Amino acid sequence: MARKPRRAALATVFALSLGALSLTGCTSDDDQLAYQTNYANHQPLRVAGYPTAGSLRTVQQIVWHLADRDADALAALHTEDDDAGSTARAWIKAYSKDAQGQVTADFLDEGSVRQEVVLHFAESRRTQEITVRINNETWGVILDSPDPAKESP
């Protein structure tokens, strides 16, 4: 009997997640379980380019927090020293509905410590560029004011 594609995808992500866990050594079992649960509860993120394990995980979390309308969790990913609460709420207002649908993340550049990513929201055909980076050995996002742009047809 053939395995269902979703089940195969979950098995692959689980295997990759365990590999990332053994490489980093700093991810707790609770964090790993939360990540796997979020992965199973959201639409898969389409990916173009070459993300690192850290940049991919961070972008997935950004999209999940947008879809879940979780401004506090989104603000917690902010890597700068300023308070990101109001900016996170602006992102939720701008993208929460779009993030519940199909999203493609286009990973640009080399991503060893910083990576530019363009999010493409299929339903609205809008895009948003973000910068994910390592800050104190943890990946996060520079959460600027959202600037939705329409894609060209």
In three state form, how does the secondary structure of 3-49 look? CCHHHHHHHHHHHHHHHHHHHHCCCCHHHHHHHHHHHHHCCCCEEEE
> According to the model, what pLDDT value does residue 101 have?
95
**Among 56, 31, 66, which Cα is nearest to 143's?**
66
How do residues 103-133 score in pLDDT, each as one tens digit? 999 999 888 999 999 999 999 999 999 999 9
Confidence band, pLDDT 50/70/90 cuts, at residue 22: very low
> According to the model, what pLDDT value does residue 124 have?
92
How do residues 45-66 score in pLDDT, each as one tens digit? 999 999 999 999 999 999 999 9
